[in-house]
């Protein structure tokens, strides 16, 4: 039952993202990796390793670009004060 509910939540969130967040509005961050390398390691240290490298890089790139929210089911992002995690369709309207 829980897996079916999660699957419905995922489908609903993805459908809402596709309709409310056009691809042209997305920010791609891969070129920032070398420049943010040291800050990424610092953020991993500050969370005692709770954030992995990829998540820390994403969080830093969001902060730099003043991106206030991220669509993710990864609760580790909840530790980042400057980033609001969107995990359900209703979170889009919060």
What one-character DSSP code corresponds to residue 64? H
Phi, psi angle pair for 85, to nearest 5°: -90, 130
**Domain locations along the chain:** 2-93
Q: Report the run of H or E that residue 6 belongs to, with start and end.
A: helix 2-20
pTM summary value: 0.69
Q: For the chain, what is the mean pLDDT?
A: 84
SS3 of 9-63: HHHHHHHHHHHHCCHHHCCCCHHHCCCCHHHHHHHHHHCCCCCCHHHHHHHHHHH
Q: What is the pLDDT of residues 47-82, one digit of tens each?
A: 888 889 899 999 999 999 999 999 999 999 999 999
């Amino acid at each position: 039952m829980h897996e079916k509910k999660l699957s419905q939540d995922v489908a609903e969130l993805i459908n809402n993202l596709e309709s409310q967040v056009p691809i042209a509005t997305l920010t791609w961050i891969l070129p920032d990796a070398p420049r943010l390398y040291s800050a990424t390691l610092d953020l991993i240290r500050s969370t005692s390793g709770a954030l992995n490298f990829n998540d820390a890089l994403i969080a830093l790139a969001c902060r730099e670009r003043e991106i206030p929210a991220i669509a993710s089911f990864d609760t580790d992002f909840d530790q980042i004060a400057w980033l609001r995690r969107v995990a359900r369709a209703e979170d889009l309207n919060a």
